[in-house]
Amino acid sequence: MPSSNPLPLTVAPPSHNSLARQGWRRLRRDRIGFGSLCIVALYLLLAMAAWSGLLARHWQDEVAKPFAPPTLFANLGPQHVELNAADIDAANQRRRAAAGSDSSAATGLDASEDPLAADMAAAQQQAAQYHSEEAPKADTLPLGADQRGRDIRQKVLQGTATSLLVGLSGALLALTIGTVLGALSGYFGGLLDDLLMWGYSVFTSVPDMLLLLAFAAVSGRGIGTVVVVMALTSWTGSYRLMRAEFLKHKSREYVRAADAIGASHGRRMFHHILPNVSHLLLVQFSMLTVALIKYEAILSFLGFGVGITQVSLGAMLAEAPAELLQGYWWQMLTVTVVMSVLVTAFSLLTDSLRDALDPKVK
Amino acid sequence: MKTDTGLESDIVTPQPPPPLLSVRNLRVSFHDEHGHCVPALKGISFDIPAGRTVALVGESGSGKSVTAMAITRLLPAHGCQIDAGSEILFAGRNLLTASRRELRQLRGADIAMVFQDPMTSLNPVYTVGEQIIETLMLHTRVGRKAAYQRAVALLKEVGLPTPDLKMSSYPHQLSGGQQQRVMIAMAIACEPKLLIADEPTTALDVTIQQQILQLLASLQKKHGMAVLFISHDLELVGQFADEVVVMHHGTIREHAPVRQIFEAPQDVYTKALLCCRPHLSRRPARLPVIKDFLGEASYCEPPQRQRGYLPDDEVILEVQNLSVEYHSRHGWFGKKHCCQAVQDVSFKLMRGRTLGIVGESGSGKTTLGMTLMRLQAASAGRVLFAGHDMLAMSPRQLGDYKRRIQIVFQNPYASLNPRFSVAQILTEPMLLHGIGRDRAERLQLAGNWLERVGLSHQALGKYPHEFSGGQRQRIAIARCLTMHPDILICDESVSALDVSVQAQVLNLLQELQDELGLSYLFISHDLAVVKHLSDQVLVMQHGRCVEQGDADTLYAKPQHPYTRQLLEAIPQSWPHNFKPQVA
């Protein structure tokens, strides 16, 4: 028997040439894939810095004048003019002077006729006692400011962090639900499959957006809610995919071989089949992440998204229509560029990863 | 169609007449992922005379299919390079420089092809008739009505019953053999001068294979076509080829008339190919492999092995009246369909012996194997393994018995998990059955088994895709051996392998049986292979056992007509075959 002759163990440890290592080498060779990986990694780093408060902690501070333009394009947009009470008074006075009347500034009445004149004078006197110190507000910012004068650079960092968090965790949750149910359904078939398929049909017969809004409406606002709501509505695609894959793989010879050596159902499902469909999961994950970032935008736009004390790329986009009408383009441009670079890099990375991790490619 | 008569008259016909097709110095190379050049054909030259049959024989990777694709210019445009000095002359025209228009006219009309798998070559959404009519109308100027008439005549010519009805059938309504007949009808529709048949019978059952070969031979004579017949099976080719070209690694090893190839082969590789395949009339203790012929000393056949059950053999597995039914039902309230896959099969397997199970596709032989593994539920009968009924055991009781009966599947490309390293593949069964104390010991054991099946320790760190088919089958065998089984079910385990590799794996199985006292249940459609390895043989047809008996007796005096039919279907081309010397 071979067991009786102990040979010097010259076994190359399996990790030496493992699939992950081979995949990494293939990914390194793929220029586009590696570039995308760097971009996604950069985004994730920035997002982590923003979550931990290292970056963009003070994104809510109103550091500039409202709608301060980007520094490079200071003269390219409409110049915002801030009106205050003094301006209105001056305008009224001009109007009165033109009309030849001398009624009081605010009401158009004579000082003697105005019943509130005394109160107003008292109030003004009191106000003069307090000295409010206003921080100097910037005229321009590198990427401009929004309507409250918040720095778009900081806002977009914080927004990206939120959107990534929502997208990634939502996709992960949806994928987990879809994979577990799909695996059970496809692998065991029969009554369980019928029941799960019924549940699936019920979910998909309701329009997606309606379901999303219904869930969002009953569960209030906040990042956690958004993640759960989106996962609950978007597991169906991966369920269907995984069900089909498990159905296909369970009769493959390698799974039968696993049965023959005595592997349990759970082991066959998650130890043998799952790694073989993992490249599909990866693709599904990236598509879901991208889709959920978009869903989050829609939810935020409709007022069911993240809370008002938080900001996300979607919430920023929601401000865009009103701003664009007045010609303030910088917030929208920034969000669009940041979002499309992220989404494109993510998709390209997924493609390359799938190629790199496929063991059949030599 | 025959517009090239002028072309032909241009060529002054010396003696002998110019070949219909001549391949000159054909060099083809492919680019792999890293941009390296991998030569597939290393400058081959051969001729196909008009009206003759030339066979291209070789194992996988020899370049025979690449040759056919180069002739029809079907090689992929990217990643493939044909050397500038190559020439393929068809009736005086160089096909490699012909324009797309010329090629379109030639393909289908003057050069026709029949592919290996008729199921994927026919379009499933069109009827057979429409597909033949399309071919006819593309290449000949006939109306739809005339094309229909011609199509019916063609179907009749290729021997399909009720050709009128078959015209309106869809491909899935025909059997594999009938589909291949339709493919042949389409190929000969425009009376081609050259028919390229690429492994046309490989996907078919042995009896059907014979019929298709005879059809091709008769059509070739009737229409005076030249045929380029591509096959991996030298014996098969011997039946109707005029000349044989033996290919190996992109070169031509031998090109000779068929008689010479079979009776006095010159090249060692040809000799090896002839001898590696198990033969009905001989049963050497060890099959020759190619390496035996490449050495300096000439090969001597080892003594013959005697087979058969002996009276004092111990019964290890007894199957009594086993039946398996498949049930299917459309929807929840649909009618229940029942299909008898195995009916009332009984046999005994002795310790250290081999029982061969022979049958064509659909005979239930694979289902039988699966049922013995309990991968498929039985509907009736008993399976006594060392006296205990396996079918009546609870899953817990079954645990240990499951270890003792193992299976080697047909397709070594599918039966190993592509995401597992060889170490994982081999240690998992040990882990599940508690063999070996820890991971290090299991790795040690796995390495030892790998050495036993002829691979090195280094293979442990690799993945299945890094191995060839034969090596993968060795890994699959090693996986079974790690559990110390008593019985090994080999379900077509060598059918997907090349002839030379097949011999190696058969030798390995034999050595393991001698060394470890394994009992084999050897399931195959290949009667010669079964005879080589089996002590007793069971012939199955439509789920029933039609004949069972001692291997030598059964092959010498078949009782059942079906057994005789199977035996007659084995290609036995040349009575005075080249034989190795007997030691």
Task: For an interface test with B, give the residue of A28, A255, A261, A358 to mutate (most B CBs within 10 A).
Answer: A261
CA distance A343 to chain B (A): 28
pLDDT for res B294: 78
Round the average pLDDT of chain A to a whole number and report it.
82
Task: For an interface test with A, give the residue of B330, B403, B404, B419 to mutate (most A CBs within 10 A).
Answer: B419
Residue A243 lies in a domain: yes
Are A31 and A96 part of one and the same domain?
Answer: no
pLDDT for res B573: 60
CA separation for the pair B526, B510 (Å, rounded): 17
pLDDT for res B331: 67
- Cβ burial A154-170 (10 Å sphere, 16+ → b, else e): bbbbbbbbbbbbbbbbb
Q: Is the pLDDT of residue A361 over 50?
A: no
Helical residues (DSSP H) of B264-389, grouped into ranges: 268-276, 290-294, 365-372
Name the residue with tokens 């499309």. A340
Q: Is B407 on the interface with A (CB under 8 A)?
A: yes
Residue B357 lies in a domain: yes
Total domain count, chain B: 1
- Please, are residues A327 and A78 in contact by the beta-carbon 8 Å criterion? yes
Are A37 and A123 part of one and the same domain?
Answer: no
Q: Is the pLDDT of residue A281 over 80?
A: yes
Look at A19 and B460 and tell me if their CB atoms are within 8 Å: no
Q: Which residue of B has its CA nearest to A355?
A: B33
Reported confidence tier of residue A360, pLDDT bands at 50, 70, 90? low
Q: Which residue of A has its CA nearest to B329?
A: A190
pLDDT in tens, A46-83: 999 988 888 878 888 888 888 888 887 777 767 666 66
Q: Which residue of A has its CA nearest to B328?
A: A190
Closest CA to B361 of B521, B502, B526: B526
Identify all chain A residues contacting B377, using CB atoms and an 8 Å cutoff: none
Name the residue with tokens 């241009």. B10
Q: Is B472 on the interface with A (CB under 8 A)?
A: no
- Rounded to 5 degrees, φ, ψ at B182 are -60, -40
Name the residue with tokens 């398929």. A197
Look at B447 and A263 and tell me if their CB atoms are within 8 Å: no
Residue A3 lies in a domain: no
Name the residue with tokens 């550091």. A63
Q: How far is CA B22 from the centre of its chain?
A: 29
Q: How many CB pairs under 8 A join A and B?
A: 113
pLDDT for res B535: 92
- Please, are residues B391 and B381 in contact by the beta-carbon 8 Å criterion? yes
Residue A51 lies in a domain: yes
Look at A5 and B448 and tell me if their CB atoms are within 8 Å: yes
Residue B552 CB partners (closer than 8 Å, separation 6+): B307, B308
- Please, are residues B190 and B139 in contact by the beta-carbon 8 Å criterion? yes
Identify all chain A residues contacting B417, using CB atoms and an 8 Å cutoff: 254, 257-258, 272, 275-276
What single string gives the DSSP state of each residue in A306-329? Answer: S-TTS--HHHHHHHHHHHHHHT--
CA separation for the pair A120, A106 (Å, rounded): 11
Residue B11 lies in a domain: no
Q: Is A280 on the interface with B (CB under 8 A)?
A: no
Residue B461 lies in a domain: yes
Residue A12 lies in a domain: no
Q: Indicate the residue of B370, B445, B466 with minimum beta-carbon distance to A3.
A: B445
Q: Is B552 on the interface with A (CB under 8 A)?
A: no
Are A297 and A240 part of one and the same domain?
Answer: yes
Q: Is B447 on the interface with A (CB under 8 A)?
A: yes
Partnered with residue B356 across adjacent β-strands are: B522, B537
- Given the DSSP bridges, would you call strands B226-231 and B194-198 parallel, antiparallel or unpaired? parallel
Q: How far is CA B475 from the centre of its chain?
A: 21
pLDDT in tens, B510-532: 999 999 999 999 999 888 899 99
CA separation for the pair B216, B209 (Å, rounded): 11
Higher pLDDT, A318 or A110: A318
Q: Indicate the residue of A7, A12, A253 with minimum beta-carbon distance to B448.
A: A7
Helical residues (DSSP H) of B350-453, grouped into ranges: 365-372, 395-404, 422-432, 439-452
- Please, are residues B439 and B427 in contact by the beta-carbon 8 Å criterion? yes
Are A352 and A212 part of one and the same domain?
Answer: yes
Q: Indicate the residue of B447, B460, B465 with minimum beta-carbon distance to A362.
A: B465
Residue A287 CB partners (closer than 8 Å, separation 6+): A347, A350
Percent of chain B at pLDDT > 70 equals 95
Residue A194 lies in a domain: yes
Are A111 and A221 part of one and the same domain?
Answer: no
Element (H, E) at A346: helix A330-357
pLDDT for res B13: 46
The three-class DSSP label of residue B47 is strand
pLDDT for res B6: 43
pLDDT for res B424: 92
Q: Is B411 on the interface with A (CB under 8 A)?
A: yes
CA separation for the pair A126, B230 (Å, rounded): 106
Residue B212 lies in a domain: no
Q: Is B416 on the interface with A (CB under 8 A)?
A: yes
pLDDT in tens, B302-346: 888 888 888 888 889 999 999 998 887 766 677 777 888 899 999
Q: Is the pLDDT of residue A3 over 60?
A: no
Total domain count, chain A: 2
pLDDT for res A15: 45
Q: Indicate the residue of A3, A260, A262 with minimum beta-carbon distance to B399.
A: A262
Look at A262 and B33 and tell me if their CB atoms are within 8 Å: no
Q: Is B428 on the interface with A (CB under 8 A)?
A: yes
Partnered with residue B107 across adjacent β-strands are: B111
Residue B510 CB partners (closer than 8 Å, separation 6+): B285, B286, B533
Round the average pLDDT of chain B to a whole number and report it.
86
Within 13 Å and on the Cβ side, how many CA atoms surround B490? 32
Residue A77 lies in a domain: no
pLDDT for res A100: 64
Axis crossing angle, helix A152-188 with helix A274-301, rounded to the nearest 10: 140
Question: What is the span of the domain harbouring residue B486?
Answer: 315-582
Query: In 10 A of CB B476, how many CB atoms?
Result: 25
- Please, are residues B267 and B246 in contact by the beta-carbon 8 Å criterion? yes
Are A305 and A334 part of one and the same domain?
Answer: yes
pLDDT for res A18: 66
Identify all chain B residues contacting A361, using CB atoms and an 8 Å cutoff: 33
Residue A37 lies in a domain: yes
pLDDT for res A17: 52
Residue B199 lies in a domain: no
pLDDT in tens, A224-265: 888 888 888 889 999 999 999 999 999 888 998 898 888 889
Are A180 and A219 part of one and the same domain?
Answer: yes
pLDDT for res B526: 87
CA-angle at B516, arms to B515 and B519, nearest 5°: 115
Residues 281-340 of B with CB under 8 A from A: 332
Look at B415 and A253 and tell me if their CB atoms are within 8 Å: yes
Residue B385 lies in a domain: yes
CA-angle at A46, arms to A44 and A50, nearest 5°: 110
pLDDT in tens, B126-157: 999 999 998 888 888 888 999 999 999 999 98
Are A195 and A308 part of one and the same domain?
Answer: yes
Look at A263 and B428 and tell me if their CB atoms are within 8 Å: yes
Are A156 and A205 part of one and the same domain?
Answer: yes
The three-class DSSP label of residue B233 is coil
Identify all chain A residues contacting B427, using CB atoms and an 8 Å cutoff: none
Q: Is A194 on the interface with B (CB under 8 A)?
A: yes
Mean predicted confidence (pLDDT) in A267-290: 88
Of the segments A123-137, A156-170, B386-400, which one has the largest average pLDDT value?
A156-170
Are A50 and A112 part of one and the same domain?
Answer: no
Look at A19 and B463 and tell me if their CB atoms are within 8 Å: yes
Residue B122 lies in a domain: no
Q: Indicate the residue of A18, A360, A362 with minimum beta-carbon distance to B421.
A: A18
Residue B459 lies in a domain: yes
Look at B440 and A9 and tell me if their CB atoms are within 8 Å: yes
CA distance B378 to chain A (A): 16
Q: What is the DSSP letter of B116?
A: S
Partnered with residue B226 across adjacent β-strands are: B194
- Please, are residues B106 and B2 in contact by the beta-carbon 8 Å criterion? no
CA separation for the pair B87, B23 (Å, rounded): 6
CA separation for the pair B484, B516 (Å, rounded): 9
Residue A241 lies in a domain: yes
Identify all chain B residues contacting A278, using CB atoms and an 8 Å cutoff: 419
Look at B432 and A17 and tell me if their CB atoms are within 8 Å: no
Identify all chain A residues contacting B406, using CB atoms and an 8 Å cutoff: 260-261
Question: What is the span of the domain harbouring residue A37?
Answer: 19-68+145-357
Q: How far is CA B536 from the centre of its chain?
A: 24
pLDDT for res B332: 67
pLDDT for res A93: 83
- Given the DSSP bridges, would you call strands B300-301 and B388-389 parallel, antiparallel or unpaired? unpaired
Name the residue with tokens 């069900």. A243
Residues 70-99 of B with CB under 8 A from A: none
Are A119 and A262 part of one and the same domain?
Answer: no
pLDDT for res B561: 92
Q: Is A79 on the interface with B (CB under 8 A)?
A: no
Q: Is A86 on the interface with B (CB under 8 A)?
A: no
- Cβ burial A290-315 (10 Å sphere, 16+ → b, else e): bbbbbbbbbbbbeebbbeeebbbbbb
Identify all chain B residues contacting A13, using CB atoms and an 8 Å cutoff: 461
Are A192 and A240 part of one and the same domain?
Answer: yes
Percent of chain A at pLDDT > 90 equals 23
CA distance A248 to chain B (A): 13
CATH assignment at residue B567:
3.40.50.300
Least confident of A94-108, A164-178, B268-282, B334-348: A94-108
**pLDDT tens per residue, chain B (583 residues)?**
444 444 444 444 456 677 899 999 999 998 876 678 888 899 999 999 988 999 999 888 888 888 988 998 888 878 888 888 898 998 888 888 888 888 888 887 889 888 887 778 888 899 999 999 988 888 888 889 999 999 999 999 888 888 888 899 898 888 888 888 999 998 888 889 999 998 888 878 888 888 888 899 999 999 899 999 999 888 888 888 899 999 998 999 999 998 888 888 888 888 888 888 888 888 888 888 888 887 777 777 788 888 888 888 888 999 999 999 888 776 667 777 788 889 999 999 999 999 999 988 888 888 898 898 888 888 889 999 888 888 888 878 887 788 889 999 888 888 899 888 899 999 999 999 888 888 999 999 999 999 999 898 888 888 888 888 889 999 999 999 999 999 999 998 888 888 888 899 999 999 999 999 999 999 998 888 999 999 999 999 988 999 999 988 898 899 999 999 888 888 766 666 677 766 5
Closest CA to B258 of B244, B276, B237: B244
Q: Is B393 on the interface with A (CB under 8 A)?
A: no
Domain end residue (candidates: A78, A101, A129): A129
